Each structure stands twice: as structure tokens, then as C-alpha cells.
Amino acid sequence: MTENSTRSSRLRLRPREHRAILLIGDLLASITSIIGAVYTWRLYSWYTLIAAGISPEKATKFLPRYFQVPLWFYLLPFIWLLLLIDMYDPHSAANKRKTLRGIAIAAFIGMVVYSLVFITLKEPNSLPRIGVGAFLMIASILTMGWRFLYIRLYKSTGFMRRVAVVGAGKAGWTLVETYKNLNPLPFNLVGFFDDDPKKIGKNIEGYPILCGSDQLLKVVDDKKISDLVVAITGEMQGRTFQILLDAQERGVEVTRMPTIYEEMVGRVPVHHLESDWVIRSFVDQARTSGFYTLGKRLLDIIGALVGLGIFFAILPFASLATLLDTGLPIFYSQTRLGKGGKTFKIFKFRTMHQDAEEDGKAHLAEEDDPRVTRVGNFMRAVRLDEFPQFFNVLKGEMSLVGPRAERPELVAEFQKQIPFYRARLMVKPGITGWAQINYGYVSTLHETSVKLEFDLFYIKHRTMMMDILIILRTIGTVFSGRGR
């Protein structure tokens, strides 16, 4: 077998493939756990009968009538997968500390929810404490073992690509800065290729500029490079283009910088996109089907009805708490921009002091914002302040999932300074979204552009499955009190 054929057959796993492997492994672990839990529960029931004075022989005969597994018990593997929903990011999943923390939180939330149901149910004996406890314990151990095996495989050479960047300009620099901030690293970065003779031999953030495109194929073979990332922002020379095609024919995967940037961090590099990017990404590539549009609207209606039910349940308590803390008003309204730049009114529980914007100008909320009241801080942490917006979702002005609805004056200011900012208005704004679950409060122009990168990534890649994932992760955020 030649070196080129070896490279072409080398295992390359993309983030979505990593997520699929994680899901399959977790599913197998949880199914095994349910089998172990049923066996443990059955064994416990058998010993209980013997402890009651029944002989082992009679206990064995009587066990089928005494030991009954309810149908809902077999849904526990799927509930376990939902509890692990925050652990399917490949970078987080390859971190031992985050893995331990995620499994511990999943087991704790599962036990708390079970305990609450057990306490409130009229017939608590219908909920098998031994069975559920055994499942959570076995599932935690097996999932931890599988995830540690995954981490070991992830860091092995079979899972790790050897990548070189073609172009040592601003785009390449941005890519390596982003790469170095990831833990663990998603691939092995070998270095750069650039045709500028003044750059060859120098380093960018510790990574060498190896040579020009004339020596690219030889260095690719010598360094066993599996992937080339094209980070050329200007016009590409015909010779360089042909060499990249030759490298691809040899089994090397050639990827554009924005594509691998999206894979690495789940957002779009707005400062390194061509002027026709919106047309290519949103018109040519990101068209949604009628089924998605219909399914999303049905999901919005169902979610809005559930949300409004919760809203009316918490309304008396939230109103009283706000009244006692800082007085009236309980709610406040603002004008926001929706899909296509249409304006609409939203109502939210007031979480800031009455004079939060004395100068009459719009200000971004900050983390640990001094304008936020004590009650408001709690409501923001568990997102109670957002519940009145379910009226907007029911009316069709908003969706459950989408970019954050911003004020017209802020949008007008940001679109002057941030490329493609207005593109976020191509979809309905959402109560939650990809940016909200991945990034905190923004108070600077740079942070606003990063949040836009998450929004544009969502718009480009949105699917019903992605919407459901975001909703589930938001529910997890509410339970953990990490609302943003």
C-alpha cells in the first residue's frame, strides 16, 4: 500500500460524526443499564420475599406475580440521553473534567426529578426506588467508562487529523488563534504554506510557515498532512489552485477556512467572509423545506401554549416579589425588530430598576449588571422574565428558537460596524437560540460580533433537530440557574 493510499484511507471524523459516535455509545450504555437495573431490582425483590419468610423455591415461583416492571421504566435510557444533552459537543466530550461534571449533574438531576415525582405521587409504591436508583448508578458508571474510552480514542492518531493552513494572512492568523483557545485541540496543526518569501521560515503563534505552494506537495508527503485549510482572502493564483487540486487527488482533504472555523467553534467568521457569502449560504445552501417551516410553526404553537400555562402559574408570585422588591411596574414593553425588519412589541417581567435608562438611550445588558434588581437577577437566572414573550410566539412574531430580538436603534448602530449584522433578520427572532446557549451577555462590539457569528451559524444550519436540541439545552440551563 502506498503512502498516498494510506492517507486517503485515514479516518477523518467531523463533529457531526463524533456526535453520532457519542450518541450510539451512550445509547448502548443506557440500554445495558436498564438490563442491569431490572436484574438488580428482580434480585432485590427475590431477597425481599425470602426475608418475609418464604422459601427460596416458593419465592422463585411467586416472583413473576410479585415483580412487575412498568412500561415507563423502559423509557429511562432515552431520559438519560436527554439528561446528557449538553455533553454532545466534541470538544467538551473530549475533556475528562467536563465529562465527570456532566455525568454527575445528569445523575443528580435525574435523582431530584424522581424524588419530586415520588413525593407528590399518590401511589409512590408504583415508582420502584431500587430500580431507578440502580439504573442511575449503573448508567453513570457505564457512561463514564465509555466516555473515558472515547477520550482516549479522540486523542489518538486515528481520530486526530494533521492539518496545514494555506495562507498566512489575517484569516490564517484568526484560525490559529481560535484553534489555540480550544481544549482539547480538535486536530494537530502542522503549520502554514504561503507564497510570500518574506514570511517563509517565520512563525505564527508558534506554528511555522513551512514553504510556498511550489513545495507544498512534497511537504504534505513528508509531514503526512491529511487536510489542507485554504485561508487565502484575496485572489488565488492559478498555479496554487492546480496544486490544491493535485493534493486532493492524492487523498488530502481540502477545506475552506470558514468551513473548518464553523466546525471548530459552531459559529461563522463574519470578518473573513466574501461579499456574496449571504447569497451563497442563505439562498443557495440554507433553503428550508416546507416541512421544516410547518414543523417549526407547530412546535412554536405547542411550546407557546405550554409556556403561557407556566406564565399564568408563576404570574402571582413573580408580581408580588417584584412589587415588594422595587414596586411598580411589574412589566415593561419595548419595540423590537422581527423577521424582515418588521417592528413589534414585547412584554417582559421588569428585572431592572425603574431608571435603568435615564438618558433615554438603548444600552446592552451586562453580566452582573448593577441595574438589575435582586428579584430580577433570580428571574434572569431561570429565565422567568422571558415568559410573557410566549404571546409573541403564539402570534407568530417570534419563534421558540432564533436570534435574540433586538431593539431597532441597536440594530441600526451594529449594522454600520459589524459585517452581515442585518442578515440575522432573515428569520424570526427567538426566545432562546444558538447564540444564547453558547455565549453570555455582550457589552462590547467584539462580543456582539461573536454572538452574531453564532446566530448566522444557526440560520445557515437550522433544522428541526437543531431546534429541539437548543430547546432541551435551554431547559437544562433553566434547571441549573445559568440563564443569560
pLDDT digits (tens, 9 = 90+) for 64-76: 666 778 888 888 9
The pTM for the full model equals 0.75
Report residue 402 as a C-alpha cell. 432564533
CB 265 within 8 A of CB 180: no
User: Quick one: CA dihedral 37, 39, 43, 48, positive or negative?
Assistant: positive
pLDDT at position 8 is 39
pLDDT in tens, 6-51: 443 455 666 677 788 899 999 999 999 999 998 888 888 888 778 8
E-only strand ranges, 384-443: 399-401, 430-432
Neighbours of 411 (CB within 10 A): 19
What amino acid is encoded at 482 in this protein? Answer: R
| Secondary structure element (H or E) that encloses residue 204, with its range | strand 203-204
Domain assignments of the chain as residue spans, ordered by start: 15-154, 162-265, 290-480
What is the number of residues in the chain? 484
Distance CA 101, CA 297 (A): 35
Q: Among 47, 113, 127, 125, which residue's Cα sits nearest to residue 79? A: 113
Mean predicted confidence (pLDDT) in 453-474: 90
Whether 205 and 230 have beta carbons less than 8 Å apart is answered as no
Grid coordinates in use for 112?
431530584
Q: Looking at residue 48, what is its pLDDT?
A: 78
Distance CA(404)–CA(394), nearest Å, equals: 17
pLDDT digits (tens, 9 = 90+) for 131-148: 888 999 999 999 999 999
How far is residue 416's CA from residue 434's CA, in Å, rounded to a whole number? 23
Q: How far apart are CA 443 and CA 297, in angstroms?
A: 32
Render pLDDT for 209-260 as a digit per residue (tens, 0 to 9). 999 988 999 999 999 898 999 998 777 888 889 999 999 998 888 999 998 8
| Euclidean distance between CA atoms 484 and 477, whole angstroms | 9
Examine the pLDDT at 268 and tell me if it is beyond 80.
Answer: yes
pLDDT for 251 equals 84
CA-based angle 346:351:355, to the nearest 5? Answer: 95
Average pLDDT over residues 83-87: 84
Confidence at residue 271, expressed as pLDDT on a 0 to 100 scale: 85
Q: Which CATH number applies to 162-265?
A: 3.40.50.720
Q: Above 80 in pLDDT, residue 402?
A: yes
Identify whether the C-beta of residue 191 lies closer than 8 Å to the C-beta of residue 176: no
Judged by phi (left if over 0) then psi (alpha if -120 to 50, else beta), residue 455 lies in alpha
| Nearest partner of 110 among 130, 129, 83, 89, judged by Cα | 83
Helix (H, G, I), strand (E, B) or coil at 334: strand
User: In this predicted model, what pLDDT tens digit does every residue of 142-190 receive, in sequence order?
Assistant: 999 999 998 887 766 545 678 999 999 999 999 999 999 887 788 889 9
